[in-house]
Amino acid sequence: MRKWGIVCALAASAALSACVQTKQYADPQFTLPQGSYKLLVLRPDVHVGSLTTGGMVEPRADWTEQARTNIIAALRAQQAALGGNLTIVERRNQLPGVAEQELADVERLNFAVDQSIVLHKYLGDYLPTKRGRGLDWTLGSDAVKLGEKTGYDYALFLHAEDSVASRGRVVLGVIGLAGCIVGFCAPNVGGAEQLDYASLVDLKTGEVVWFNVVDAASQVPGIKFGELRTPEGAAQMIERLIGRMKPGQAVRRAEAVR
Amino acid sequence: MCGHCLELTRRSLLAGGGAAIAAFQTGVANARVRPADMVPLVGPGFKPTDKDEQGLWEEMDRVEEEIAGSNLLVDDPKLSGYLRELIGTVGGPAAKDFRIYLARIPDFNAMMFPTGFAVVFSGLLLRMRNEAQLAGVIAHESGHFLRRHMIRSWRDQRRKTDIFSIGAMLAGVGGAGAGVYLGDYVQLAQLGTILSLFKYSRDMESEADAMGAKLIAEAGYDPMEASNVWLQLIGEEKASAAYRGKHRQRGSLFDTHPSDDARMADLRADALELKVPGRIYDNHRARYLATLGSFRQTLLDDQVKLNDPGASEYLIETLAQDGWDGLLRFYEGEVWRLRNRKGDDIRAAQSYAAAVVYPDAPADAWRWHGITLLKAGRTGEAKAAFAKYLTMKPNAPDAAWVRQMIG
């Protein structure tokens, strides 16, 4: 009886150690896009794979395609509710009036800036010069030029990766759970993990005005925290990542005073 | 009780030692893959049908888009056309499906991606003495695609990590049930799994070497040139290490590729098997140099600026085995000048003087020849050299200064 008690406690703690984490940053002066703003979504980067028994993620083209379709549909629905005018560019040559290389340069610059944001805001290498300044990064004149040429107000960059525990991985977790009976308890070998991030760039100023990361990781294979292959999972992801967008600190303070 | 413990430890040590020795033997004594056994596993217009391979291909889509638009690529239609033609000659059944990109990176490297696009570093073009050698390297990369190495390696990794994970879990649970600790064995199995993955990677490289040798022999190139590539690379690594007072790194169990020495020896044996007695092979050196054209100077320039005089000197001397010219003599001088050891100024001056004798000496050879003459107090000759420099490069950045100096 006592043994089973430990098993349950461990299983519960393992399940609890898996969770959904999200942390967003914004420029202190950032106000939520309102009215009939024009939003450009550049090549949503989606990867969905199968988590093998041994713990590797095997990319799956069909699941990725499914997830991409779901995410775009969810994003359209979410933006339509806000009144945003949305354009999704899937290929670098699809934006009229902008050369492929020009768009590629903006994308690459954004990627480098995003990496810097992740390093200095999320991974612990905090910069004293940016303390208390919210999100203080910019893509500079290239982004402004893109805005002038195309007439868009904002650019949204979106990355989503998800893995689905394979049957073998679930079996491995089950063996680990069964082992608890004999005192070798290892159900938390690691299950599906979803990692999404998005950055919003103001094309009038070139500044990265808002950034968010969602990490939904499960330690126990078989337990899920959202799945991009389904329309509901994709809608949940868009809600977690973009739906709960908050204005910058200064703006929120001003609103609180009012 | 404790005697039992000791017994178990000794036994596990024996088992561990045995496994380690077996691993070492399989890792070191790689059997040569025979070119005759290398049959392409894909036909023209290959498209994956398995889920895992489709996933791998989909991931590569954006990778290729990124590489194709990279600003590291050499924008030279003549060179890209030449490389495309070459992979079309030695690409076997997939010849028409390959894409090939030339990146300006002064390093010996070429790679094939799962979907059939290859990237060649400019440093490779510098090191190849003729078209046959370049064809050998490109055929090796084609071999990776034709033998489906990327998906086979992925499946090997997946299978071995699956087996290891299940085995480790069962050892933990079973061991706990039986009251023995099997953690040491699990660690040993982990090492074995890792070593086995590296071994598999080396086997794939050996296959690609054999496949490549077969492809170039079929296309009419001397297959011995593929072995010579490795002979040259070994020499370069030795020279580079010797200059820095170090030893060249030899192969280890954790290498993804077989040692250069093993590849050279195996390719030599392959060539002996493949060569048809009485057949005349052309290495197409003239065509190769004509295609490189003025780009060869860029390649040499990038190399001497790497601050690796041991390797640079060796490379220039190796290329000069086919005959010295003004370009090679000038860059020989540049290696000495940039190295700047005692006596290097005199060596450099001699190289510049030798370079300008050749009709193909670059303008900068005349410039540096003039400077060294000026230092030696031979003002009249120096002025003549500078005048020649100005005729060749009237818009040089320092033209005004040089003109003022020669009065």
Q: Which residues of A touch B154 (CB under 8 A)?
A: 58
Mean pLDDT for the stretch of residues A25-40:
91
Query: What is the bridge-based pairing of β-strands A154-165 and A38-51?
Result: parallel
- Chain A interface includes B65 (CB < 8 A): yes
Q: Per-residue confidence at B18, pLDDT binned at 50, 70, 90?
A: low
List, in sequence order, the alpha helices (H) in B99-223: 122-127, 131-146, 149-178, 183-218
Which residues are registered as beta bridge partners of A137?
A208
Q: Per-residue confidence at A180, pLDDT binned at 50, 70, 90?
A: confident
- State pLDDT tens for residues B153-195: 999 999 999 999 999 998 988 888 888 888 888 999 999 999 9
Looking at residue B20, what is its pLDDT? 53
- Chain A interface includes B52 (CB < 8 A): yes
CA pair distance A39, B282, nearest whole angstrom: 60
Q: Residue A42: which domain range?
A: 2-257
**What SS3 state is found at A118?**
helix
- State pLDDT tens for residues A216-229: 888 888 787 778 99
Q: Per-residue confidence at A11, pLDDT binned at 50, 70, 90?
A: very low
pLDDT at B52 over 60: yes
Q: Per-residue confidence at B19, pLDDT binned at 50, 70, 90?
A: low
Mean pLDDT for the stretch of residues A91-98:
89
pLDDT at B237 over 60: yes
Q: How many residues are there in chain A?
A: 258
Nearest-CA distance from A108 to chain B in Å? 9
Looking at residue B30, what is its pLDDT? 67
- Asked if residue B118 lies in contact with residue B87, where contact means CB atoms within 8 angstroms, the answer is yes
Q: Which residues of B touch A171 (CB under 8 A)?
A: 166
pLDDT at A12 over 60: no
Mean pLDDT for the stretch of residues A114-143:
92
**What SS3 state is found at B160?**
helix
Q: Which of B280, B360, B294, B295 is nearest to B323 (CA)?
A: B360
The residue of chain B with its CA nearest to that of A99 is: B69
> A18-22, A215-219, B104-108: which range is least confident on average?
A18-22
> pTM score, two decimals?
0.86
Contact B173 A53 (CB under 8 A): no
CA quadruple B142, B145, B150, B156: dihedral sign: negative
pLDDT at A145 over 70: yes
CA pair distance B350, B365, nearest whole angstrom: 11
Phi and psi at B311, nearest 5°, equal -70, -45
The residue of chain A with its CA nearest to that of B175 is: A184
Mean pLDDT for the stretch of residues B362-367:
97
Q: What is the count of structural domains for chain A?
A: 1
Q: Which domains does chain B have, with CATH numbers?
A: 33-237+258-274 (no CATH), 295-406 (1.25.40.10)
Q: HSE, CB side, 13 Å, CA atoms: give it for residue A157.
A: 25
Residues of chain B above pLDDT 70, percent: 93
Q: At what angle do helices B309-319 and B224-243 cross, to 10 degrees?
A: 150
Looking at residue B7, what is its pLDDT? 42
- Asked if residue B316 lies in contact with residue B304, where contact means CB atoms within 8 angstroms, the answer is no
N-term to C-term CA, chain B: 99
CA pair distance A106, A18, nearest whole angstrom: 36
> A17-21, A48-52, B217-221: which range is least confident on average?
A17-21
Contact B69 A47 (CB under 8 A): no
Nearest-CA distance from A64 to chain B in Å? 9
Site from B169, B181, B193, B194 to mutate, A interface, most A CB atoms within 10 angstroms = B169
Looking at residue A9, what is its pLDDT? 45
Mean pLDDT for the stretch of residues B242-250:
86
**What SS3 state is found at B356?**
coil
Looking at residue B251, what is its pLDDT? 77
Q: HSE, CB side, 13 Å, CA atoms: give it for residue A247.
A: 13
Site from A158, A164, A172 to mutate, B interface, most B CB atoms within 10 angstroms = A172
**What SS3 state is found at B109?**
coil
CA pair distance A201, A211, nearest whole angstrom: 9
Looking at residue B223, what is its pLDDT? 94
Looking at residue B6, what is its pLDDT? 37
**What SS3 state is found at B102?**
strand
- State pLDDT tens for residues B189-223: 999 999 998 998 899 999 999 999 999 999 999 99
- Chain A interface includes B162 (CB < 8 A): yes
- Chain A interface includes B164 (CB < 8 A): yes
Query: What is the bridge-based pairing of β-strands A19-26 and B99-103?
Result: unpaired
Looking at residue A18, what is its pLDDT? 55
A56: nearest CB among B56, B161, B163:
B161
- Asked if residue A192 lies in contact with residue A97, where contact means CB atoms within 8 angstroms, the answer is no
Q: What is the average pLDDT score of chain A?
A: 88
What would the two tokens of residue A235 be? Answer: 């809608």
Q: Which residues of B touch A165 (CB under 8 A)?
A: none
pLDDT at B128 over 70: yes
pLDDT at A21 over 90: no
pLDDT at B137 over 90: yes
Output the 3-class SS for A219-253.
Answer: CCCCCCCCCCCCHHHHHHHHHHHHHCCCCCHHHHH
Mean pLDDT for the stretch of residues A131-142:
92
Contact B166 A53 (CB under 8 A): yes
Q: Which of B212, B219, B321, B200 is nearest to B266 (CA)?
A: B212
Q: What is the average pLDDT score of chain B?
A: 90
Buried b (16+ CB within 10 A) or exposed e, B64-101: beebebeeebbebeebbebbeebbebbbbebbebbbbb
Q: Which residues of B touch A56 (CB under 8 A)?
A: 157-158, 161
**DSSP assignment of B188-214:** HHHHHHHHHHHHHHHHHHHHHHHHHHH
pLDDT at B250 over 50: yes
pLDDT at A15 over 50: no
